[in-house]
Structure 1
């Protein structure tokens, strides 16, 4: 969920990039480990050295991360100091440390944009072709020319959950595939039969709203800071949601109460007050523990096109690192096939590696079928959505989307005006970024 809280404008000028290849210009010490021809280093060369890893946790991933770090320490003889900060404090904390010359060596980020000028070029260790090991969508954001400045650590996918008990009580079959109109019809039928507060709950999030935009055939931003919003298609998407809010299918109070601030609707679903909840795969682990009813993930509804909307986290090295080789080696280790398989299984994450998505897959300890629903939707999700979420303009544009939509929910403007204002707001974000 927190992967969608992307904020801040990007310093996107390539000329401003200060990153350098690990072990080349950043360090001239005679014991600096040189990358091999295969794009890797000898882990034992880091014996006795220490690096720091700035991290935020989504919950079950902390234990998995600590286990992998112990494995890295055993293989390298080095030490990794894990420093955990709340997600809400991550950006401010990292910016302060960069300004103070006290940057961590490695960090986990949800948004590369604000830090691109401070990211290490990993290619000296991981190899120039390393990005090809990952899904093309998540890999969109990790290259800057010939440089590799990040690694996609995990993939998130927006999508719906259904309360199976409520569907059965209403005599409505749980879908294996459905259109947006069919989803709405099912929601209304279950809501009426079971007398729930709402039919559909959806997080108050620009990322989640972008799912509906995409299903109607448009995104907000594209590659090279382009404004890709189709106002007519955005108007249709926004109007469809406003109609559901006005007729009580989506709870209006939920959108009014917190203005334009992010708010998750998971409590509405867990309280069985909405038979359908549009969120994403990160909820699986929570629902497995907290839900007191039968539930399951189902495919995204199709309008003009199908699929959900992606997100994810990245592992990066910081160019201020005094141990750039070790930092880059840790980034590579955490994102190897073996490490991702362990991490994803324990944390209920979706992998980013081709050999896990297309090959062996991940065996989850529970709710395998639900995780496979989200994995299947990765292939159904349009390529331009990955371009959108990788853009440094996406975060602030998502904020504009929520702000403008909140005005429409409050009755201050109609869907057409909201879409036009959104288009103008995105244009300003892009101008500011440039």
Structure 2
């Protein structure tokens, strides 16, 4: 998600103002002041972020007197519900999204109210994605995710297999070999599990030396030979039982996590991401740890994250922009990251680094992989064409695993889907 090597230290100047919102036509001053003391925030939760968010909302109310109504919806229904609300002229003031593309025409230019506090303060790799054609700031990257393996430390110890050095990552061959030894020693069903996700498989593609799109996210950068090598390896691992083949075959094109397999101790290596750290700290009944991403042609993982947006329809545009600025100030992002085990998106925080009060060693593994991740991975994940391409990738991989397509055919279909997705958003 970011051209990390270009980061510069930036200072945040946050102005929290609770004044009358533009576009609000009430003549009743008292009623207007009451309305200005409340914002609606459409939200989905990854788990530990909910309480961290509520803590920040309480602080915001204490500072401004403004109550933020946190309206939590299931992630699977987020886009559908938001589209319905926009169609019904019932837009929330603020929303948390993973994909801004379906809503781009509806988004408020945050620079209208908070340019000094927000513009240029975040991951440079996201600039093209969050900017409008005229330079508008349509969204703020509010947190960063990094894909990577988690390992069952107890099972590795039983198998007398050493964990990888965070400063000297596994190669893919080394990771597979280690995982198979641990599988055999512990008699687990599988050795490695990966979430059913085009986003997660993009990690493997990047490590094999290719991504869907270039740094800009607007041009194809898909190397078919390198992608075919990754797909062949993925298929071999599933066919041999190293990976749980049924997981991908049964999921269709929908996301399905492999976290239950890992928590049930039926795989010693689980390729997921940093959002699992807080969850596993509570749920895992065994010792576990984050491991650095394996290297092939490239090292590092694959980024993702969330965005905060407001809408042109909001009757409280200024207050919404002020709230987004508060939530993404240096202080707020640091607090959110530390409480929810998230990765920050602010250049100044990434430059200075963070020390986490819980599972700090695991989070430092993810932070280290941020710098190892190729810039094309950031361009790809922030490309408006990525979502459709990732969905097509899951569909084509399932065909390979079901014996209905060869890796070469799947890669050709994925390339065609990526080209179509770019054309659809042009």
Q: TM-score, normalised by structure 2?
A: 0.89
CA displacement at 1:148 relative to structure 2: 0.9
Map 1:111-126 → 2, pairs under 5 A: 111-126=99-114
Counterpart for residue 356 of structure 2: 364
CA displacement at 1:135 relative to structure 2: 2.5
Alpha-carbon spacing, 1:254–1:42, altered in 2? closer, same or farther (3 Å): closer
CA displacement at 1:138 relative to structure 2: 4.0
Distance in 2 between residues matched to 1:64 and 1:129, nearest whole Å:
22
Map 1:314-329 → 2, pairs under 5 A: 314-329=307-322
Distance in 2 between residues matched to 1:171 and 1:82, nearest whole Å:
48
Tell me if the contact between 1:138 and 1:155 (Cα under 8 Å) persists in the aligned partners. Answer: no
CA displacement at 1:86 relative to structure 2: 1.2
Aligned: 1:433 with 2:421: no
Structure 1 stretches lacking a partner, 5+ long: 4-37
Distance in 1 between residues matched to 2:160 and 2:66, nearest whole Å:
59
- Residue 274 (structure 1) aligned to one of 260, 264, 267: 267
Query: For each residue in 1:94-148, what CA deviation from the matched residue of structure 2 results, as whole angstroms up to 9, or x when unmatched?
Result: 1111111111111111101111111111112222683432222344422224211
CA displacement at 1:415 relative to structure 2: 1.1
Q: How many residue pairs end up in the alignment?
A: 397
CA displacement at 1:425 relative to structure 2: 1.8
Tell me if the contact between 2:117 and 2:325 (Cα under 8 Å) persists in the aligned partners. Answer: no
Aligned: 1:79 with 2:67: yes
Aligned: 1:92 with 2:85: no
Alpha-carbon spacing, 1:163–1:320, altered in 2? closer, same or farther (3 Å): same
Structure 2 stretches lacking a partner, 5+ long: 2-11, 21-32
Map 1:31-430 → 2, pairs under 5 A: 41-45=15-19, 48=34, 49=36, 50-127=38-115, 130-144=118-132, 145-176=134-165, 177-222=169-214, 223=216, 225-359=218-352, 361-430=353-422
Distance in 2 between residues matched to 1:430 and 1:137, nearest whole Å:
18
Shifted more, 120-129 versus 292-301: the winner is 120-129
CA displacement at 1:365 relative to structure 2: 3.0
Query: For each residue in 1:266-321, what CA deviation from the matched residue of structure 2 results, as whole angstroms up to 9, or x when unmatched?
Result: 11111111111100001111111111111100100000000100000001111111
CA displacement at 1:53 relative to structure 2: 1.1
Distance in 1 between residues matched to 2:68 and 2:207, nearest whole Å:
43
Q: TM-score, normalised by structure 1?
A: 0.87
Q: What SS does the corresponding residue of 2:148 show, helix, strand or coil?
A: strand
Distance in 2 between residues matched to 1:193 and 1:168, nearest whole Å:
10
